[in-house]
A and B are shown apart, each in its own frame.
Chain A
Amino acid sequence: MKKLRDTPSQTVGPFFAYGLTAEQYSYDFTSIADGLLVNQEGDQAKVAITGCVFDGKGNVIPDAMIELWQGDSQGKYNDERIGKDREGFWGFGRLGTGTQRGHKFYFTTVKPGSVEKGCAPHINVILFMRGSLLHLYTRIYFDDEPEANKKDPLLNLIPESRRHTVIARRVETGGLVEYTFNIHMQGENETVFFDVKN
């Protein structure tokens, strides 16, 4: 059977905010997702995922958009359709980097469990920005899971010298447990990005 060709990718451009992240940027339109991956009212233990995106000169990128997609505390992905009245845990978030001080992103979620035996807890990341013609995939692992990380098959595909670029650092803030995950497009600490089709 003859396969069809993909629709080619193009950049998200600088002006995505009123369409894709309208409520975060205070535009008069609704949003399908934001910085919450779990209902804040629920009694599950929450964690924060924060960080910045840096360009090749080390400057913070103020117009990137980040999507997170993860399993729940048991590692199970939500397979129900996400509606307007989000309850419990849905596991999908989306933020632009243009509204917080220092152009940080700040997601509130639960720490995911292992999706399957032998895999370390992780969050999938999809990254978009002006200047990126093709979105990029990476993952967030956690530095307080050293044993699980050591065995994770995907993490083991990454040269050891670069593994730290996908491991978030746990920070105690007095409030929520916070994990810092900075994304570097280039340079010494260039984040590892994945090819998910090959």
Chain B
Amino acid sequence: MENLDYNVHPPHLYEGYKSTILRSPTKPLIPVASMLKDLTMPAFGESVLRKWDNDLTKNGQRNGEPIGERIKLSGKVMDEYGRPLKQVLVEVWQANAAGRYIHKAEIHDAPLDPNFLGAGRMLTDDEGRYTFYTIKPGAYPWGNHYNAWRPNHIHFSVIGKQFEHRLVTQMYFPGDPLFDFDPIFQSVPKHARELLIARFMMDWTEPEFALAYEFNIVLSGSNKTPFEQ
């Protein structure tokens, strides 16, 4: 029987990613799980969603379609026992097809797309599933070290049920040649990196329209919470 290593998160200090050096705590965290009991996170209602919030190919349109490869992304949000987490808020943001973020402080010399914002959100359904359409993001350079490039990725923020379910992460695409050179991706223990990579799903592609990927998200509870049915 395979022994799974549950230590999947990056450390706070990872020197290859230089910004962690002055921004990570130097003292050990204080364990408080036993004090939190059943503290939940806030839940959000359908009214925080607008019509095209789950379609990034549409929610930034001004005078036409955004440029790039249209893709569909879907996955389940679940707890560590595989139970679906429904009505969970999933927020996403990303660069456009040219590798340019719409953020005002972004200085990368690649074109903005007037028809692409790059942000969206959705609530998971009763099966814990979210689905959105977007444009495949491009790679972009950053200042961490000489000739540093980020692999193509989409940022995710997930507000789960329990307080300790909160997750912010980045989803990557299979086979990216930049994995070996990216300290943010490399900060995750080697055995767990596959958990950040979406799976190409031929069965889910929409003929003549979009390729599809699956990215499931697992949010575990406190290690002190016993399993309850």
Please report A residues at the B interface, Cβ cutoff 8 Å.
1-20, 22, 25, 27-30, 32, 55-57, 59, 61, 63, 67, 69, 77-85, 90-92, 124, 126, 128-136, 153-154, 157-158, 162, 185-186, 190-198
Question: Hey, which chain A residues are within 8 Å of B25, CB to CB?
Answer: 136, 185-186, 190-191, 193
Docked CA distance A6–B40 (Å): 18
Q: How many residues of chain B get a CB closer than 8 Å to chain A's CBs?
A: 87
Query: A196 and B9 in contact (CB under 8 A), knowing A12-B157, A81-B43, A186-B22?
Result: no
Q: Report the minimal beta-carbon distance from B85 to chain A, rounded to whole angstroms.
A: 12
Q: Report the minimal beta-carbon distance from B225 to chain A, rounded to whole angstroms.
A: 9
Give a binary string over B146-166; 1 marks a CB under 8 Å from any A CB, 0 the rest.
000000000101000001101
Asked whether any CB of chain A lies closer than 8 Å to the CB of B174, the reply is no
Question: Hey, which chain A residues are within 8 Å of B59, CB to CB?
Answer: 29
Question: Hey, which chain A residues are within 8 Å of B8, CB to CB?
Answer: 5-8
Question: Hey, which chain A residues are within 8 Å of B10, CB to CB?
Answer: 8-10, 133-134
Query: Would you give 22 A-B contacts (Cβ < 8 Å), ordered by A?
Result: A3-B80, A3-B220, A7-B216, A8-B193, A11-B17, A14-B105, A15-B103, A20-B93, A22-B119, A32-B48, A32-B89, A84-B48, A124-B163, A130-B23, A132-B12, A133-B14, A133-B187, A134-B12, A157-B35, A162-B27, A195-B32, A196-B222
Question: Hey, which chain B residues are within 8 Å of A132, CB to CB?
Answer: 12, 20, 23-24
Docked CA distance A54–B155 (Å): 25
Question: Hey, which chain A residues are within 8 Å of B93, CB to CB?
Answer: 15-16, 18-20
Pick from A25, A30, A91: contact of B50, CB below 8 A.
A30
Q: Report the minimal beta-carbon distance from A87 to chain B, rounded to whole angstroms.
A: 12
**What is the number of contacts between chain A and chain B, taking CB atoms within 8 Å?**
250
Let me know if B169 and A18 touch, CB within 8 A.
no
Closest residue to A157 on the B side, CB-wise? B30
Let me know if B30 and A192 touch, CB within 8 A.
yes
Q: Report the minimal beta-carbon distance from B135 to chain A, rounded to whole angstroms.
A: 15
Let me know if A5 and B42 touch, CB within 8 A.
no
Question: Hey, which chain A residues are within 8 Å of B33, CB to CB?
Answer: 195-198
Pick from A8, A80, A131: contact of B23, CB below 8 A.
A131
